[in-house]
Structure 1
C-alpha cells in the first residue's frame, strides 16, 4: 500500500526500500505490542497454556500456566505490516510472505493439538509435521527455481566465485535448508527469550545482505550476486519489529511463549532468506545458536544409541546448563552474546573474499 501511495501521490520518500522497511518495523512492533496483551488475557481465560514435558528440568514445571501460541500474534503482525509496505510486483517478497503463512499453519496445528490434549508431546505426529514441512519447503524452493532471474549457484564464504551450479538439485538442497532451519529454531525455543534474540540478530544480518544483494553498486563492489530481492528486507524488518514487541512479554520471566507457531515459522523464514541471498552456508554462522542446539541433540541421541552413554546431562544443550544449576537468565544472555558475536563475524566475511 505504501508503495502504491508513493506512485499515486508522487511521494518519492515512500519509494525507498529503507524507508518502507523502517515503517514496516514500527508497524509490526505496534501491532504486536497492541495485540499481544489481549491475546495473553484470552489465552489465560481459555486455558491455552503451555503443556510442559515431564522430562524437562523441575524448574520448568512452574511455567505450566504460561500462555503459548504467541507466535500467531507476531507472525500476523509481520504479515500485516509487510502487506502494507511491500511492492506487490516483487515475487521474492510475495514468496517471503507465503513462507510465513505456510509454516505458521503447521505450527498452529501443532500448538492446537498440544493444548487440546494438554500434553507437550501430543502435537502433530512427527511424520505428519515433517511431511507438511517437506511439502511446503519444496513448494517454496520450486517457486524460486521457476523464477527466471534466480540462479542455482552455491556460494561459500571467503570465495569470490560460486563453487558450483546445482541446477535442479538446488530445489532439493533448498528444501533441506528450510526444513533444517525450521526445526533448529524449534529446538532452541526452550527458555524465556532464548530463541527470540538469536532470531533477531540473524534477521538483521540477512536483512543487510538482502539490501546489498538487491543493490547493483554495492553487490558488485563486494563481489556478491545481484538479485532483485530488496523488497524482502521490508518483510524481514517487519519480523524484527514483531519479535522486538514479542520479546517485551517473552523475556524472563515470560508472560507468553511463541510455541511452534512462532519457532517453526521463524526458522523456515530464515532458511528462505538464506537461500535468496545465496547465504545457505553462511547461515550456519549466523544461526550458530540454532546449530549448536541441534548438534547437541544429534550427539546425545547418537551417543546413547551407539554407546548407551549420554554426552550431556540433558539435550538440547540449554537444558544441560540448567541441570548444572546455571541461572536461567545467565544461560539466555550468554547464548544471546554468542549469537551477536557470530553475526558480527558473519557480516565481516562479506568483505573478505
Structure 2
C-alpha cells in the first residue's frame, strides 16, 4: 500500500506544481485551444486557453511510477521479486503515452491550423487502432508470468473476473483489446469539453481501479502464502503494478484538476483525453473487468451514446434528439450553467463507480461466504 500512496502523492505534487509551468510554456508557444464556431456561445470566451495539458499529467504519472518502485526497495527480497517493473507496466504506461501521442498530434494540428479541425476522425481512429494493436499483441502473446503462464491480457471475456465459458482465443482477444482501448479513449475524449468534467470523472474511475487492483493484490492467486490459506483469490497478473499506475494517474489528474476546474487555466486536450481513455481501457483488460467498465465508466458510456443516438437519428430521420451532442452541450443550450453541468455529471460518474465497486465487493463476499 505504501508504494501506491507514494506514487499517488508524487504524481499529485508533480502535476500540481508543474502544470503552471506547462501553462507558461504552452502560452509562449501560442498553443491556444481553437473553439468551434458552432459550439455554445459561452465557449468563445475560452479561446486561446492553453491546451495539450495532458502532457503534464502523463509525465507526472511516469515519474510517480518510478517513485513508487523506489518505495518498494524496503520490502523483503522475496516480495521485491514480485513487484519489479513488468510487462503490465509496459502495456499500461505504453497505452497512456502513445494514445496521448495520437492526441498530441491532433492538438498540434489544431494549434498549427488555428482551427478545431486537427487530425481527421479516420486518422485518430487509425492511430488508436495501431496503438491498441501493438500493445494488444504484447499483452496477449509476450512476456507470460512465471505463475501459471499468465499474460497481461486474457483470452476470456470478463465481468468481475474471467468468465470461463467465454474463452475466445488470442486473436479475438487482441481484437477485443483494441476495441476496448478505442472505445474508452473516444469515450473520455467526447466527455472532455467542459472545464474539469473529464478530469474529475477520470479521477473517480482511476481511483476505483487502484482500489480494485490493490484488493486483487491482497487476495492474489500468485501469493503462495495467501493461497495456502485456501481463501478466494484472483487470477490476474501484477495487481500491485496495476494499483500503482492507476493510483499515480489518479493523483496526477487531481493535481491537474486544480488548474483545469472552472474557469480553466489549461485544457488537457486530446493529448490527455485519448491518453486517459487508453489507460482506462488497459486497466479494464489487466484487471479482468471488461464488462464492469461499462458501469464503472457509466458517464463516458452515456455521453458516447448521446453522440451515437444523435448521428443515427439525424441520418435516418433528419431530426436531432438533442439540441447538441455530446450530451453536456445539450444542457448548456438548455440554459444550465457550466459548473452545474460538471458537478451533476460528476455525481452521475460517482454513482457508476459506487455501483461497480459494490458489485465487485459483493461478488467477493458471495464467494467467501
TM-score normalised by the chain length of structure 1: 0.90
Single out whichever of 189-198 and 74-83 deviates more from structure 2.
74-83
Partner SS for 1:300: helix
RMSD: 1.8
Determine helix, strand or coil for the equivalent of 2:351.
helix
SS in 2 for 1:295: helix
Tell whether 2:362 aligns with 1:352: yes
The reply on whether 1:28 has 2:4 as its aligned counterpart is no
Q: Deviation of residue 223 (structure 1)? A: 6.0
1:242-253 map, 5 Å: 242-253=252-263
Deviates further, 91-100 or 265-274:
91-100
User: 2:87 — aligned with what?
Assistant: 91
Matched, 1:312 2:322: yes
Task: Please tell me whether residue 64 in structure 1 is matched to residue 47 in structure 2.
Answer: yes
Which blocks of at least 5 consecutive residues in structure 1 are unaligned? 1-17
So what's the TM-score if we normalise by structure 2? 0.86
Decide which of 194, 199, 209 is 1:196's aligned counterpart.
199
| 8 Å Cα contact 1:155-1:163 kept in structure 2 | no
Of 150, 155, 166, which residue of structure 1 is paired with 2:168? 166
Partner of 2:116: 120
- Superposition pairs of residues 201-212 of structure 1, within 5 angstroms: 201-212=204-215
Gaps of 5+ in 2: 70-82, 145-149, 364-369
Partner residue of 2:27 out of 26, 30, 44: 44
Contact 2:236/2:288 (8 A) holds in 1:
no
1:154 aligns with 2:172: no
Work out the CA distance in 2 between the residues paired with 1:130 and 1:287: 20
SS in 2 for 1:162: strand
Match of 1:101 among 92, 97, 101: 97
Equivalent of 1:76 in 59, 70, 76: 59
Equivalent position of 1:187 in the other structure: 190
Distance in 2 (CA, whole Å) between partners of 1:69 and 1:54 is 20
Aligned pair partner of 1:55 in 19, 35, 38: 38
CA distance in 1, matches of 2:362, 2:168: 24
CA contact (8 A) 1:69 1:261 kept: yes
Alpha carbons 1:288, 1:342 under 8 Å: kept = yes
Q: Counterpart in 2 of 1:216?
A: 220
Q: Equivalent residue of 2:164, what SS? A: coil
